[in-house]
A and B are shown apart, each in its own frame.
Chain A
């Protein structure tokens, strides 16, 4: 598949998804452009993770169209251009025999192809990702022996090792302390501003990234798009979107 430049990373039209006859998502029409920092918010069970899984091809849409980098999703093959940090990635099996470096190196596997050894490019990309996320010193430690915050950084380093154009992060703060969460938001900001990495961030806590995001997708069975995050972040608007009764905690950072 020849590479082509497309200003849009994700282009979604009339997306609909049903699971065993039950409607999960409908009216999905939006696009996400290069360099954007997009937040995906919505109540639990609203379909945020399902939307991410549909974009990644982990679920098949019932109807509608998804284009990745300008290509129809069915024809898209260059998956290493998308870095993915799944939900609860920090909650891994503690006895799994994997060192930090081995986990980060997984980010290069799809790019390397079969029967290949780690090239100099692979080594450089792995080292750079580990440096960027501050986990180089942990290289030989077992992933299960790290704290939640350290594991989270390792998972992001793995996603960055393939030098992706976009990073999809799905509610990554489960099991992570507050201090590590704040470091994490700062890292995402840096990646977006200085590395020009596009970010899709599934979260409940939109307040802490309100100043960074350029677009918000509100997902609650249907998908509402706002290009004016300041408007959606207000308490009244959030209460309206989440529906009553809901408890929205408003805070300033």
Chain B
């Protein structure tokens, strides 16, 4: 089994997977607590539009996914915070709208369905050294920002109004958080796939919350769960020739069920 680490593509997949596990679980804690879980799913679908446009126009699908995801995240947050629209309604609007747009673009092109398939479900073979560098730089910046504003984001998740009344720049930090999530999702679709990245962002915090511990410990535990599931999922993907994203998400679900049984309340 250890021979898989001798292959460069598996080394890349594990490095990418570990980065994604840390990033998604760290940012996921905030969106889960704010009942904003569908944001990750929605932005993943929007990323698919970026990928389709990239493939259609011969541009980098990854960068187009980042751009599409970022723009959508700002629009979603703008409609929610400035226009006071219900967050679940805004997310539903973007989720179905972006999927419809992606399908239209794919049907127009017709020729890149195989490439698109790897973005839908993730493929460990598709992680290049260049992808790792992009993920490393963007990921480090995201982690630095999340850690720098960790306590403020926690306060906002607990009580947005009191945080604002206390002088915390809630609107700015909300836009920063959705931007970070948008970038993380767009960069993660290579490994986990657009249809499954939402699970990696949501299941680890949801499982960790079941332990009934404080927020800081919950976040650390959530990271641990995400890391373990990525390692198990990627190993299973290599051993049984499974799509990497699906294998990671199934590992997460198994861990979640175990946690649920341990912490019956």
Q: Does B18 contact A (CB under 8 A)?
A: no
Interface residues of B in 148-185 (CB under 8 A from A): 148-149, 151-152, 154-155, 158-159, 161-168
> Chain B contact residues: over half helix, strand or loop, or mixed?
helix
Whether the Cβ atoms of A57 and B152 lie closer than 8 Å is no
Q: Does A185 contact B (CB under 8 A)?
A: no
With A and B bound together, what is the CA distance between A96 and B34 in angstroms?
10
- Provided the pairs A80-B167, A96-B33, A109-B166 are in contact, do residues A58 and B161 lie with their beta carbons within 8 angstroms? yes
Whether the Cβ atoms of A102 and B167 lie closer than 8 Å is no
Q: Identify the interface centre among B162, B208, B216, B218: most chain A CB within 10 Å of its CB.
A: B162
| A-B CB contact pairs (8 Å), 12 listed | A57-B165, A78-B167, A97-B212, A98-B214, A98-B215, A102-B154, A109-B155, A114-B148, A114-B149, A140-B214, A158-B162, A162-B166
- Provided the pairs A79-B166, A84-B165, A110-B168 are in contact, do residues A98 and B158 lie with their beta carbons within 8 angstroms? yes
Q: Which residues of A contact B212 (CB under 8 A)?
A: 97, 142, 145
Whether the Cβ atoms of A86 and B162 lie closer than 8 Å is yes
Q: Which residues of B contact A107 (CB under 8 A)?
A: 166
With A and B bound together, what is the CA distance between A152 and B30 in angstroms?
24
Q: Does B79 contact A (CB under 8 A)?
A: no
- Provided the pairs A103-B158, A109-B152, A114-B152 are in contact, do residues A79 and B165 lie with their beta carbons within 8 angstroms? yes
Whether the Cβ atoms of A97 and B209 lie closer than 8 Å is yes
Chain A residues touching B, range: 20 to 34
Shortest C-beta distance, B93 to chain A (Å), equals: 22
Q: Does A210 contact B (CB under 8 A)?
A: no
- Provided the pairs A97-B218, A99-B214, A109-B168 are in contact, do residues A86 and B158 lie with their beta carbons within 8 angstroms? no
With A and B bound together, what is the CA distance between A161 and B167 in angstroms?
15
Q: Does B257 contact A (CB under 8 A)?
A: no
Q: Does B213 contact A (CB under 8 A)?
A: yes
Whether the Cβ atoms of B165 and A82 lie closer than 8 Å is yes
Whether the Cβ atoms of B167 and A115 lie closer than 8 Å is no
Q: Does A22 contact B (CB under 8 A)?
A: no
Interface residues of A in 100-126 (CB under 8 A from B): 101-103, 106-107, 109-110, 112, 114-115
With A and B bound together, what is the CA distance between A103 and B217 in angstroms?
14
Q: Which residues of A contact B218 (CB under 8 A)?
A: 97
